Copies of this chain bind each other. A is one copy, B any other.
Amino acid sequence: MQTVPFRNPAERARLTGREARLACRSGQISGSTAGLAHGYVQGNLAVLPKDLATDFLLFAQRNPKPCPIVGVSAPGERRIPELGEDLDIATDVSGYRVWRHGEVVEERLEVADLWRDDLVAFVIGCSFSFEAAMVEDGLPLRHVEMGVRVPMYRTSIPCVPAGPFAGPMVVSMRPLTPAQAIRAVQITSRFPAVHGAPVHLGLPEQIGIRDLMRPDYGDPVEIRPDEIPVFWACGVTPQSVIAASKPDFAITHAPGAMLVTDRRNAEYAVL
């Protein structure tokens, strides 16, 4: 995937959510949406056939921390009006993965020709929103400083199952000093719709993580002697749960290629 214009980070940040989405639709932007449309909510995408959608909705309801749903389409509908004017879920994500029987069979820039009357699209909150709030408060994000993906780990914390959907919670990790960790709990508690407060800190072995330097997804990051690892529920959880349930057909966003919405991060702050 290649980006043609909008290479300049400042220019990418200045776009509105709608401008970014239309640039993704037209192919002017593809791949990672990190740094795009500063202040606007981005979301993970999961598209499932209607017969699985009810169970998935129940799964999300039962596991709101890893699976905070910010928008759902009506069956067959490609629009989700509450997330964006003129939004087309089949064309506006900057990269898609097509799954058959639990395997990725294709990566694409749009999925309009694959759309079916029985598909339901779920948009799930993403850590970009709470990370923006952390950065505004002056808290460090080691993976951003190092220019790598956030480290993510499968834990021993089971999700509450629903129908075919079951599996462990996946968490992302950010190293912080104890005082920063306390502040990060306060800041991210304001955003329950985008994973909210951490689920764990300080003792990774307690949640089944043996080696912080070997994440299950993403990249390892430095943890300094004066820092503790702080863990947040991660939107990779629903993806791994969907993959494990091996539905006949599913569509997700490609890693890092989120849906950019018209909603502002600030709207999701409960206080």
Interface residues, chain A, with chain B CB atoms under 8 Å away: 177-179, 181-182, 185-186, 189, 197-203, 206, 226, 228, 271
| Interface pair B206/A226, CB less than 8 Å apart | yes
| Interface pair B206/A182, CB less than 8 Å apart | no
CA–CA, A166 and B197, complex, Å: 35
**Looking at chain A's contact residues, is the secondary structure mostly helix, strand, loop, or mixed?**
mixed
Query: In the complex, which residues of chain B have a beta carbon less than 8 angstroms from the beta carbon of A186?
Result: 185-186, 189, 197
CA–CA, A203 and B224, complex, Å: 12
A229: min CB distance to chain B, Å: 10
Query: In the complex, which residues of chain B have a beta carbon less than 8 angstroms from the beta carbon of A200?
Result: 178-179, 182
Q: What 6 A-B pairs have minimum CB-CB distances, sorted nearest first?
A: A185-B185, A202-B202, A178-B200, A202-B228, A178-B201, A178-B202
CA–CA, A182 and B201, complex, Å: 8
Among candidates B178, B189, B199, residue contacting A179 with C-beta atoms closer than 8 Å: B199
Query: In the complex, which residues of chain B have a beta carbon less than 8 angstroms from the beta carbon of A202?
Result: 178, 181, 201-202, 228
Query: In the complex, which residues of chain B have a beta carbon less than 8 angstroms from the beta carbon of A197?
Result: 182, 186
| Interface pair A182/B199, CB less than 8 Å apart | yes
CA–CA, A182 and B182, complex, Å: 8
Q: List 16 A-B contacts (CB under 8 A).
A: A178-B203, A178-B206, A179-B199, A181-B201, A181-B202, A182-B197, A182-B198, A182-B200, A182-B201, A185-B189, A186-B186, A189-B189, A201-B201, A201-B202, A203-B226, A203-B228
